[in-house]
C-alpha cells in the first residue's frame, strides 16, 4: 500500500487529492499547512509527499528543506502541487530537493500516474 502525505492550506484541494488518490488505491493523509505537514511527516513512513508552495506558518519550500534536512525518510519523493508556474520558483523547488512540479488544476489520471511513477507502484 502506497502511503501519501498531501499538504495544502486549501481544504478543497486536500479533499480532491485524497479522493483521487484513494480511488486509485493509495492511502492518503492530509495536513493543512507546512508546519502541520512536517509534524505529521515525522509520525509515519510516507512513500510520497505532495505540498503546496503558498501556505501560512511554513511554505512549501520550508517543507521540502525540512524533510531533506531531517533525520528520517530524507529521500522520499516530494511533488509540488501549486498554481504557480514560474521558472524561478520551479528552480528554487528543485534546488531545495523537490522531485517534481504539478500545476493546479491537475488532471486526476496525471496525478495518479505521477505518484505511481515516483513511488514505483503499479
User: Is 58 within the bounds of a domain?
Assistant: yes
pLDDT of residue 122: 72
pLDDT at position 87 over 80? yes
pLDDT of residue 73: 96
pLDDT of residue 121: 87
User: Is 32 within the bounds of a domain?
Assistant: yes
Residues 43, 56: Cα–Cα separation, whole Å: 21
Range of the domain at 11: 3-107
Residues 34, 78: Cα–Cα separation, whole Å: 13
pLDDT in tens, 64-79: 999 999 999 999 999 9
Name the packing angle between helices 60-68 and 34-41 (round to 10°).
20
pLDDT in tens, 39-67: 999 999 999 999 999 999 999 999 999 99
User: Is 114 within the bounds of a domain?
Assistant: no
Residues β-bridged to residue 6: 30, 50
Q: Under DSSP, is residue 48 helix (H, G, I), strand (E, B) or coil? A: strand
pTM: 0.96
User: Is 112 within the bounds of a domain?
Assistant: no
Residues 90, 84: Cα–Cα separation, whole Å: 9
User: Is 120 within the bounds of a domain?
Assistant: no
User: Is 73 within the bounds of a domain?
Assistant: yes
Q: Kindly state the average pLDDT of the residues 86-106.
A: 95
Q: What Å distances lie between residue 41 and 2, 26, 85, 90, 122, CA to CA?
A: 14, 16, 26, 23, 24
pLDDT of residue 106: 93
Computed over every residue of the chain, the mean pLDDT equals 96
Domain count, the chain: 1
- CATH classification of the domain holding 102: 3.40.50.2300
pLDDT of residue 76: 98
Amino acid at each position: 500500500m502506497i502511503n501519501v502525505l498531501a499538504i495544502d492550506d486549501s481544504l478543497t484541494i486536500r479533499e480532491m487529492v485524497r479522493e483521487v488518490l484513494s480511488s486509485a488505491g493509495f492511502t492518503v493523509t492530509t495536513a493543512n499547512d507546512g508546519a502541520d505537514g512536517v509534524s505529521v511527516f515525522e509520525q509515519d513512513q510516507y512513500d510520497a509527499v505532495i505540498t503546496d508552495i503558498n501556505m501560512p506558518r511554513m511554505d512549501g519550500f520550508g517543507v521540502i528543506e525540512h524533510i531533506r534536512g531531517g533525520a528520517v525518510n530524507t529521500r522520499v519523493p516530494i511533488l509540488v502541487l501549486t498554481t504557480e508556474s514560474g521558472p524561478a520558483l520551479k528552480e528554487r523547488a528543485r534546488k531545495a530537493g523537490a522531485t517534481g512540479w504539478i500545476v493546479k488544476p491537475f488532471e486526476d489520471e496525471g496525478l495518479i500516474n505521477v505518484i505511481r511513477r515516483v513511488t514505483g507502484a503499479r
